[in-house]
Every structure is written in structure tokens, then in C-alpha cells.
Structure 1
Amino acid sequence: MQIPHGKKVYFSSDNHLGAPTPAESLPREKKFVRWLDMVKEDAAAIFLLGDLFDFWFEYKTVVPKGFVRVLGKLAELSDRGIPIYFFVGNHDLWMRDYFEKELNIPTFREPKEFIFNDKVFLIGHGDGKGPGDKGYKRMKKVFTNPVFNWLFRWFHPELGMRLAQYLSVKNKLISGDEDKKFLGEENEWLAQYAKRKLETKHYDYFIFGHRHLPMEIRISEKATYINLGDWISHYTYGEFDGTSLQLKEFTE
């Protein structure tokens, strides 16, 4: 994709809408909608890198209640012809085809390569990548197993959603302190993952979410790893103007 003059590509991740309660989440949802209103004026594309919701499970004919403001705004932007891409995070693993059919937003489950103005990007949510965290990787295999999905769908949505939302809010990714700490460049596992990817192919930018901590790490002379932070504490996003990418904070 060639970015037209005056246009930009935007990246956002980890809103966790609905947590810890719908009432407490609502101001953050409204703030994110205001950000979408801002970027729509010059957006060549918008990338949402997962965990937009703190929990999302689509039954065959049922989608979770709530989030009408952000879903309506995404529909508006998509209808205006702004390309939007969604990467499934660990809190919205159980997304089916609602975004694709209702909002015309392609959905990806693994990191994907994009090229903008000859700059090569590898983009994804980031969960389960890099060394370590074997417990989560095993858990993810269970949660994405078709048998597990089939069994969960037998729960009445009222019971299944209540149980899953309770467990999701208790998840350390939304409630813990350890994700707020910078581990050092040598210990940031997504940076290590990016370095390994460079052994087989050149990328200019690796863009991920999941860590909830905005960071920019130069991992080689020509490659940079960027974590987008979140919309819980930092309200940060990425902005690529066709030449370089910057991390910015949305302030009003």
C-alpha cells in the first residue's frame, strides 16, 4: 500500500472494554470513539491489534451485549471506505465472522506482514509469541480447541457470558501490576521474538500489543519493535506518516 500524501496509518491495541464493569468502562469507550473521530480525517488505514473487549464470545446467532458506541463508529468508518484490520487478542479469541460480515473488517489470528511505502511491517497482538510463558501457551491451545468451543456453546449465553466475564476481569493482564514494569530490552519477550524473525527476513517495524506498556526498542540497525501500550492507563497509539512511525498519547 502506498500512503497518499497527507494520509496516515494508525495502530491501537488493548482497550479491554467492559472491564472491570460496564459503567467504569464507558468513559474509556467514549474516549476511544473520540480518538476514532480524530483519526478518520486523515486515516489511510486503521489497525486494531486485539483485546478491544475484555471478553468476546460469538455464539452462532448471538453476539455480546454492549459496546454499541465503538461498534457503530467502526461501522461508520468502514462505510466511509477507511480500511480497518482487526487482530484477535487473547481476550477476544472466540471471535467468529461478525466483524467481517457486519462491519467489513478483516480479522486475523496470527501476525501478518504488510508493506507501506516500501517499509515492511509485521503486525499482530503478540500473545503466545517469544520464549517462556508456557502455561499461557498451553491454556491457549485448550481455549482455541474446537471441542472446548463446542462445549462452551452449550452454555446458555446468560450463564456463559457471566462466567467468562468474571474470569476475564480476574485475569492478570487487566488487573496485575507486572505488565506495567519494563523488563529490560534483553528480557522483553516480544523483542526477542522480533529479533529471531530478523534472522530469516528483514522487517522495518514489529508492532504488537498485549504488554499494556508503550515501548519502542531498536532491535537492529534498521528494525524497531514497538508495543502500543493500552487504553486503560496510557491511551497510546501508533501513527505512521509514510516515512516513520511514532508512539503518541491521545490527550484532549
Structure 2
Amino acid sequence: MHILEGKKIYFSSDNHLGAPTKELSKPREKKFVQWLDDVKEDAAAIFLLGDLFDFWFEYKHVVPKGFVRVLGKLAEIRDSGIPIYFFVGNHDLWMDSYFQDELNIPVYHKPKEFVFNNKRFLIGHGDGLGPGDEGYKRMKKVFTNKFSKWLYRWFHPDLGVPLAQHLSVKNKLISGDDDAKFLGEENEWLVQYAKRKLKTKHYDYFVFGHRHLPMSIKVGENSTYHNLGDWINYYTYGVFDGEKFELKEYQNTSRKE
């Protein structure tokens, strides 16, 4: 993709809408919708890197109710011709075809490579990558197993959705979330993952979510790992203007910086 002058690519992750309750997350949803309204003015594309929802499960004919403000805004932006790309996170990993069918937004379950203005990006949510976190990796294999999902669909949504929402908030093994504090480069699994990837191929930027901490770390002479932070404590997002990538904090003004 070539980014035209005056256009930008925007990146966001980890909104966790619905947590700790739908009512308490509504102000964050409204703030995120305002951000979408702002960035659509000069967006060449928008990347959502997972955990938009604190829980999401698609039954054959049912999806969790709520979040109509953000879903409506995404539909409006996509209908205007701006590409939107969605990467599932560990909280919405049961997303299937709803976004693709209803919103025309492609959904990715693994990191994917993109090239913008000759800069190579590796983009994803970030859960289960790199060394360590073996308990979550085993749990993820169970949750993403087709037979497991088929079994869960036999729970009536009035039972299945509240149960999953409870576990999503309370069980750290299921959620896969670490405490949001910097662990040092040698213990940041996504930093180690990026360094390993560079041994076989060059990337200018690694862009991930999941850690809930905004950070930018050099992982090679011309390579940087960026974590987008979250929309719970930091309200941070990424911007690529065709030449450089920056992390910014959204101030909820009528226009972006």
C-alpha cells in the first residue's frame, strides 16, 4: 500500500468493551467512537489489533448484544471506503465471520505482514507469541479447537455469554493477560519474539497489543517494536504517516493532534 501525502495509517488495541461491566465501559466506548470520528478525516487505513471486546463469541445466529455505537461507526467508516483490518485477541478469539460478512472488515487470527511506503510491518495482537506463557498457550489450543467451539455452542447464549464474561474478567489463565508493568527487555516476550523474527527476515516495525503498556523498543539496528497500550488506562494509539511511526495519547478533543 502506498500512503498518499496527507494520509495516515492508524492502529489501536485493547479496548475490552464490556469490562468490568457493559455500563462501566460505555464511557470508554464513546471515547473510542470519538477517536474513530477524528481519525477518519485523514485515515488511509485503520488497524484494530484485538481485544476490542472483553468477550466475543459467535453462535450460528447470535452475537453478544451491545457495542452498537462502535459497530455502527466501524460500518460507517468502512462504507466510506476506508479499509479496516481486525486481528483477534485473546478475549475475542472466538470471532468468526461476523465482521467480514456484516462490516466488510477482514479478520486475521495470526500476525500478518504489510508493506507501507517500502516499510515492512509485522502486525498482530501478540498473545501466545515468543517464549514462555506455556499455560496460556495450552489453554488457547483448547479454546481454538473446532470441537471445543462446537461443544460451547450447545450452551444457550443466556448461559454461555455470562459464563464466558465472568471467566474473561476473573481468570488470568484464560485471559492470558499479564500484570501491566514493564518486565525488562529480556523478559518481554514480544520483544524476544521480534528479535527472533529478525534472524530470518527484516521488519522495520513490529506493532502489537496485548501487553496494555505503550512502549517503543529498538530490537534491531533499523527495527522497532511498538506496543499500542490500551483504552483502559492510557488511551494510546499508533500512527504511521508514511515515513515514521509514533505512539500518541488521545485527548478526546474535537480534532486529533
> With structure 2 as the length reference, what TM-score do the two structures score?
0.96
* Conserved? CA contact 2:90–2:176, under 8 Å: no
172-181 or 8-17, which deviates more: 172-181
* Conserved? CA contact 1:205–1:226, under 8 Å: yes
State the shift of 1:169 in Å.
Answer: 1.3
Q: Which residue number in structure 2 is paired with residue 223 of structure 1?
A: 223
State the shift of 1:107 in Å.
Answer: 0.4
Residues 1:87 and 2:87 are matched in the alignment: yes
State the shift of 1:186 in Å.
Answer: 1.6
Amino acid at match of 1:95: M
Residues 1:14 and 2:9 are matched in the alignment: no
Stretches of structure 1 lacking an aligned partner (at least 5 in a row): none
Within a 5 Å distance, the mapping from 1:136-155 to structure 2 comes to: 136-155=136-155
State the shift of 1:179 in Å.
Answer: 2.6
Residues 1:28 and 2:28 are matched in the alignment: yes
Residues 1:168 and 2:168 are matched in the alignment: yes
What is the distance in 1 between the residues matched to 2:113 and 2:52? Answer: 21
Amino acid at match of 1:10: Y
Q: Which residue number in structure 1 is paired with residue 77 of structure 2?
A: 77
Q: Which residue number in structure 2 is paired with residue 241 of structure 1?
A: 241
Render the CA deviation track for 1:75-122: whole Å, top value 9, x for unaligned. Answer: 000000000000011101111100001000000000000000000000
State the shift of 1:174 in Å.
Answer: 11
* Conserved? CA contact 2:135–2:173, under 8 Å: no
* Conserved? CA contact 2:136–2:174, under 8 Å: no
Determine helix, strand or coil for the equivalent of 1:121.
strand
What is the distance in 1 between the residues matched to 2:175 and 2:24? Answer: 14
Determine helix, strand or coil for the equivalent of 1:231.
coil
What is the distance in 2 between the residues matched to 1:198 and 1:167? Answer: 36
* Conserved? CA contact 2:12–2:237, under 8 Å: yes
What is the distance in 1 between the residues matched to 2:114 and 2:202? Answer: 12
Q: Which residue number in structure 2 is paired with residue 44 of structure 1?
A: 44
Q: Which runs of 4+ in 1 moved over 6 A?
A: 173-177
What is the distance in 2 between the residues matched to 1:58 and 1:83? Answer: 23
What is the distance in 1 between the residues matched to 2:177 and 2:113? Answer: 31
* Conserved? CA contact 2:237–2:247, under 8 Å: yes
> With structure 1 as the length reference, what TM-score do the two structures score?
0.97
Q: Which residue number in structure 1 is paired with residue 255 of structure 2?
A: none
Within a 5 Å distance, the mapping from 1:74-223 to structure 2 comes to: 74-172=74-172, 179-223=179-223
Identity %: 77
What is the distance in 2 between the residues matched to 1:20 and 1:80? Answer: 33
Q: Which residue number in structure 2 is paired with residue 68 of structure 1?
A: 68
Stretches of structure 2 lacking an aligned partner (at least 5 in a row): 253-257
What is the distance in 1 between the residues matched to 2:248 and 2:153? Answer: 40
State the shift of 1:171 in Å.
Answer: 3.6
Amino acid at match of 1:134: E
- Over 3 Å counting, the alpha-carbon distance change for 1:67 and 1:106 in structure 2 is same
- Over 3 Å counting, the alpha-carbon distance change for 1:181 and 1:26 in structure 2 is same
* Conserved? CA contact 1:173–1:179, under 8 Å: no
Render the CA deviation track for 1:22-51: whole Å, top value 9, x for unaligned. Answer: 110000000000000000000000000000
* Conserved? CA contact 1:179–1:213, under 8 Å: no
What is the distance in 2 between the residues matched to 1:205 and 1:154? Answer: 42
